[in-house]
Chain A
Amino acid sequence: MGGPLDPLDALAKVCGDVRPGEPEEGVLGVTPRFVAAPGTVAEAAEVMRVAAEQGLAVIPRGGETRLDWGLPPGRCDLLLDTSRLDRVIEHAAGDLVVKAEAGLTMERLAEVLAGRGQRLSLDVPLPGSTVGGTIATGAAGPLRLLYGSPRDLVIGLTIVRADGQIARSGGKVVKNVAGYDLGRLFAGSYGTLGVIVEAAFRLHPVPSAHAYVTTRVPDAANAHEAVQGVLHSPVAPSALECEASGDGITLGVLLEGVPEGVAARATRVADLLGPGADISHEPPAWWGAYPDGTTLIEVTAPPSALAEAPAATEGTAPADGAALLWGAALAGVEGCQVRWSASGKGYVGLTANAAEVAEVLARLRTTLARHRGGAVVRYAPEGVRTADDVWGPVPALTLMRRVKAQFDPEHRLSPGRFVGGI
């Protein structure tokens, strides 16, 4: 009898697509020793079982759109590539439900659903994102205001655990309270609890009409007033976005529904926003995209935070729209861009050195803490990222560590990528 199998041989015995990793596949600079692309859920489970036997640290990989988010892994022995898990398992159009494999791209899913006049009401800020990656990172865009994020739309989830067991929660019906909801727990867990292999979502009909109403506002006070005007009106927007950069502040409101309804509501929103409001079928260029910059900060900032007046002593440059939001947090930062959604999520993009980013983060956190908000670095260049506290305060960290220890006692799943070193 020979000794224990070499990991590559052991993986190759259970999965048809296994090879050594390449340096360019590194996760934030950490090159994987191996890459395995299972073609079925059963194969994925076998790969995870072998990884457990061999003590391999595993990072799931979907469309690689957010592998550079978060912190570098402590180690990466195996990239579990989901690209061959790309099937639509069932589209029950009459039930407004779809079940798909994790490696399916969101665009392909949207095509299939559109064929029956339906959609998954999640924006895809980064093209090429997969179903699994979208859930694992909790990704959403402007539609979050009305429809929420993956945690609100996932109705069933299949995962493979660290020990290779396949586990399901939820199901394929929208209304279901049997058992704990692992879909919500896994949404935004960044591959640290298990590998997402299948998901079922609730769907919505594609609205027959839509309109974007946009307007420019001179300052944060006006932005706040306009946002409050729309939010407290009965027009029921699907999205309400705010863009701010060196050029000033622009508001955009998305209305969806039937043609006669959308037309009447768009006129009402335009009236609310005042002279200069524009109604268009097309979104503004910045709609749904992350702001530019080498560093991306995600903020939690409820609508009231827009009213934060710039501190008098900070000497905010009036021409810089970005600096007008959230007080003086962004004052004096060159080329800063902000996107903010009335759902309370926002993004700040900037190209700056470690000290400047640290300063911006500290100011954002101080300002937004007054509104029970916060700021998290999503991506940043290496020197900048390591200098910062990427996640900020994490109130329930002890509980999170205990949940993590249950799911992954050996800390082999995306180690070090998440909050508190999880």
Chain B
Amino acid sequence: MDRFLYLTFDGLSRGAVYAAFALALVLIWRAARIVNFAQGAMAVATAYAGYSVTNATGSYWLGFIVAIVGGLVLGALVERVVMRFVDHSSPLNGVVVALGLVLIIQGVLGMIYGNEFRPAEAPFSRDAFQLGDVALLSRYDLFVFAAVGTVVVLLTLLFTRTSTGLRMRAAAFAPDVSRLLGVPVSGMLTLGWALAAAVGSLAGMLVVPTELGLHPNAMDLLFISAFTAAVVGGLDSPVGAVVGGLIVGLLLTYVSGYLGATVAPMAVLILLVVVLLGRPDGLFSRAKARTA
């Protein structure tokens, strides 16, 4: 039972990171109808930038801020320079270009930093608090919850309470009408990419200290897990992404804890298959009107 409790808290903390990452995928999907397969690589790139700054200045928080701002810039760049010019008549094209970006980013990172794992320190202790003799949460877990919680609240406020959020939703929902009504649609698209990449960078910064360290391929599994989380929740639903993230985090932690860490990727695959075949629009999709 003690172990179960410990794994549950650990799983929720992991799930929070997946939730943030899935949220980034959902943001881009809602804005541009693209699943950004380069999200993981982009997050690694900003994490490298962040930790370089941290190593140079000795301040974790400076590096943290650099990573997030780097995410904003990288997201905007990717949209402005590459994604804008992709022929979107087929959904495959966006995926293929994103994969090309993955190769470029991983290759460049490998050339600059080398292909070995670089240790990355956490800003807070990862030793769990003890309640009696039961290990529960660590300071770092609390930091993760706080960071992801803040992002979720801020994004909710942005999309539901501000005019910019309303414009972003309008631009995604009906681009032509929005343009006629004076919404800068392409600017909104860039903003969406920038925001999503920043959220992805945050998830990357949060996950790095809990894994082996920084590596150009460090986020491959994170991407799969987050994609699964986004699909579990339904690619269109931010709430679904958060819940999906927590579900995937818990599942992964239980499987690693009870069956062994090597089984975890298979568990993700099985979950993905089950959801895609059983409820491909996600657990939180609303019933669509009949089309035939």
A and B together in one complex: no
Show the binding face of A for B, using Cβ within 8 Å.
none
Show the binding face of B for A, using Cβ within 8 Å.
none
